[in-house]
Amino acid sequence: MNTPIHTHMTHEVADFNTWKPNFDNGQALRDKHGVKIHGVYQAHDNPNMVTVHAEMPDMAAMEGFMADPAVQATMHEAGVIGRPEMRMMTRHA
């Protein structure tokens, strides 16, 4: 049985107002990998520090999503700075 993985992916973006429409337009890529978004958050002290709470079917889906060249290109075009910090979690309640 595959266990869904929840992630909190935090990364800085060059400009949130540029990043957000690019993120919104990436729904087809997320659908391709079975990614469901549960929330998008901005840090109180830095509006360009973004955390995305997502759910994926399993670790293989998460790894495939992050390795997809189209995902990497979209993140670059949207202004993501550096590698995201990721926390992978399994839901128990």
Locate the domains of the chain by residue range. Answer: 5-89
Q: Categorize the per-residue pLDDT at 3 as very low, low, confident or very high, splitting at 50, 70 and 90.
A: confident
Give the pTM. Answer: 0.89
As a whole number, mean pLDDT of residues 85-93 equals: 87
Secondary element (H or E) of residue 84: strand 80-89
End-to-end CA distance of the chain: 18
CATH class of residue range 5-89: alpha beta
Q: Categorize the per-residue pLDDT at 1 as very low, low, confident or very high, splitting at 50, 70 and 90.
A: low
What secondary structure does DSSP assign to 4-54, as a single string? -EEEEEEEEES-HHHHHHHHHTTHHHHHHHT-EEEEEEEETTEEEEEEEEE
Q: Per-residue pLDDT tens for 7-38?
A: 999 999 999 999 999 999 999 999 999 999 99
